[in-house]
């Protein structure tokens, strides 16, 4: 069984041609609300609700390296796409939309 990031890479690559390779050291960024996060999350993920992305200080406190690969996920994929766009505007170079957590959870069971 491969790592979670490897499984996410496989899922994303099947959904988009944007991604050729995501390093296994990518940060998993959960942009759902704290209430959603409490219900369930992915091991090792970092919580940063979408609204917090408007505050550059909060972002850099959690994501100080703009060259660090980041896989963003939410509940269904809409917020993660917005988060990806916002992080790109802030200068983060390797940001990937991981989509919804339900898709990623299915990977955990495979």
Alpha-carbon dihedral angle through residues 80, 84, 86, 92, given to the nearest 10 degrees: 140
A 10 A CB-CB count for 62 gives 12
Annotated catalytic, 74? yes
Domains of the chain: 4-105 (3.40.250.10)
Could you tell me if 70 and 27 are in contact, meaning their C-beta atoms sit under 8 angstroms apart? yes
pLDDT of residue 1: 47
**End-to-end alpha-carbon separation of the chain, Å?**
8
Q: Is the Cα torsion angle 57, 62, 86, 41 positive or negative in sign?
A: negative
Tell me the pLDDT tens digit for each residue of 57-107: 999 999 999 999 998 999 988 999 999 999 999 999 999 888 888 766 665
H helix intervals, the chain: 4-15, 34-39, 56-62, 78-89, 101-109
Q: What CA–CA distance (Å, rounded) separates 73 from 65?
A: 19
pLDDT of residue 64: 93
Among 12, 59, 74, 95, the one annotated catalytic? 74
């Amino acid at each position: 069984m491969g790592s979670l990031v490897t499984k996410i890479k496989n899922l994303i690559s099947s959904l988009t041609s944007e991604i050729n390779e995501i390093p296994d050291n990518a940060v998993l960024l959960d942009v759902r609300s704290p209430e959603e996060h409490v219900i369930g999350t992915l091991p090792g993920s970092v919580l940063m609700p979408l609204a917090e992305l408007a505050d550059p200080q909060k972002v850099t406190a959690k994501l100080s390296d703009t060259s660090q690969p980041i896989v963003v996920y939410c509940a269904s994929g809409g917020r993660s796409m917005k988060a990806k766009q916002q992080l790109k505007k802030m200068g983060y170079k390797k940001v990937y939309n991981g989509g919804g957590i339900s898709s990623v959870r299915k990977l955990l069971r495979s």
